[in-house]
Structure 1
Amino acid sequence: MKKIDVTEAIFASKHAQGLTWEAIADAVGMSDVWTTSACLGMNSCPEDVAEKLVSFLNLPEGAKSVLMEYPTKTWQETIPQDPLIYRLYEIVGVYGPTLKEVIQEKFGDGIMSAIDFSMKVEKEENPKGDRVILTLNGKFLPYASW
């Protein structure tokens, strides 16, 4: 069984049971963003979380060990075609240099960790159109001199 097989089984179970990512995350005691990422194969699950996912979603034998495998985090290097993903790509393209300047001005020469990191997606209702609120929370990692 490969990661793609487990991901497909997760989507099938999610659809068949009418579940949301939030409901799955609540069942395993993790955030909805992290749980979704793990289900898509981009994060490895601790054993207890993998067990809970397998049980809650009635996943096939072998899924637990696959969920626990360390992922190779790769993605298409071409410009994404999906409109939502493209907009995020566009935001980083347009505002990436600005964010780099502002972060380094406030913190110094370094980067924001994507390892010691959390992310939240929230909805804000607004009469002019509902708003998407993305919170990216990463530890600052200064570059070392030696």
Structure 2
Amino acid sequence: MDKLEMRHTLLAAKARKQLTWEEIGKSIGMSPVWVASACYGMNSATPDAAKKICQVLDAEPDVAAALEAFPTKAWDEAIPQDPLIYRLYEVVGVYGETLKDVIQEKFGDGIMSAIDFSMEVDKVEDPKGDRVLLTLNGKFLPYKAW
């Protein structure tokens, strides 16, 4: 089974069981964001995590093997059409250079890791309309001179 077939299988099982990523994450002791990313095929799972995901979603062993497989982290390079994804794309387009500049002023010349990384999505209730709070937490990796 490849990552795309795995993704379809797991998303169908999630819908059939009417589970949220939060529920799945809690049941296996992992972040719901990471679990969703693994199920979408963008991260590989440890054998233990793959087994737990498959148990929660009643998936076959071949799905666990696909979860464990190392992914090719590629995505459509066209401008996204989904409004939520487009807004994230827009945030990076509008604020990317600003974030780079501010990060490098604070840390020096380098990048934020997307490997040594975690992310949280939280809901902040507000009388003017609920807010989405995204926390991106990546290790700073300085560029080296040699």
TM-score under structure 2 length normalisation: 0.98
Deviation string, structure 1 residues 40-78 (Cα, Å, up to 9, x no partner) = 000000000001111111112311111000000000111
The residue type paired with residue 51 of structure 2 is: E
Partner of 2:113: 113
Alpha-carbon offset, residue 15 of structure 1: 1.0
Instruction: Give the secondary structure class of the aligned counterpart of 1:81.
Output: coil
The residue type paired with residue 9 of structure 2 is: A
Aligned residue-pair number: 146
Structure 1 residue ranges (4+ consecutive) displaced by more than 3 angstroms after TM superposition:
none
Q: 2:40 matched to 1:27?
A: no
Distance 1:60 1:8 in 2: 13
Distance 1:12 1:102 in 2: 42
Partner of 2:97: 97
The residue type paired with residue 75 of structure 1 is: W
The residue type paired with residue 38 of structure 2 is: A
Partner of 1:137: 137
Distance 2:11 2:35 in 1: 13
Identity %: 61
Partner of 1:77: 77
Q: 2:9 matched to 1:9?
A: yes
Alpha-carbon offset, residue 109 of structure 1: 0.4
Instruction: Give the secondary structure class of the aligned counterpart of 1:140.
Output: strand
Distance 1:121 1:54 in 2: 23
Distance 2:65 2:114 in 1: 24
Alpha-carbon offset, residue 136 of structure 1: 0.3
Distance 1:99 1:56 in 2: 38
Q: CA RMSD in A?
A: 0.7
Distance 1:69 1:102 in 2: 36
TM-score under structure 1 length normalisation: 0.98
Alpha-carbon offset, residue 139 of structure 1: 0.5
Alpha-carbon offset, residue 26 of structure 1: 1.1
